[in-house]
């Protein structure tokens, strides 16, 4: 379980600190976002579109039709919610 948390923290850091905009490196960013969604137990075959709502706050649309709100909560944890 601690390895899963460490991986999630690494991915979250990459997504929320290392990728300031989706257009800057969309392939790597979408891959990281997809992994973050999967680590939270949700399904996403491929990230098709991302809307940035603010710092560390995104809406991800997947090709399979699923949409997720991915953000960091007040406690500093990455949260993935189905939209």
Rounded to 5 degrees, what are φ and ψ at 6? -65, -40
CB-CB contact of 82 with 44 (8 Å) = no
- Give pLDDT, residue 24: 47
CA distance 52 to 28: 16
- Give pLDDT, residue 4: 61
CB-CB contact of 70 with 79 (8 Å) = yes
pLDDT at 9 over 50: yes
pTM metric for this prediction: 0.71
Q: Which residue has the higher pLDDT, 3 or 63?
A: 63
pLDDT band at 33 (very low <50, low <70, confident <90, very high): very high
Return the domain boundaries, the chain.
Answer: 2-82
CA distance 67 to 17: 22
């Amino acid at each position: 379980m601690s390895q899963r948390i460490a991986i999630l923290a690494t991915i979250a850091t990459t997504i929320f600190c290392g990728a300031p905009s989706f257009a800057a490196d969309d392939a790597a960013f979408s891959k990281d976002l997809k992994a973050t969604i999967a680590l939270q137990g949700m399904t996403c075959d491929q990230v098709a579109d991302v809307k940035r709502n603010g710092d560390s706050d995104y809406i991800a649309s997947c090709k399979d039709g699923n949409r997720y709100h991915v953000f960091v909560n007040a406690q500093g944890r990455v949260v993935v919610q189905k939209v």
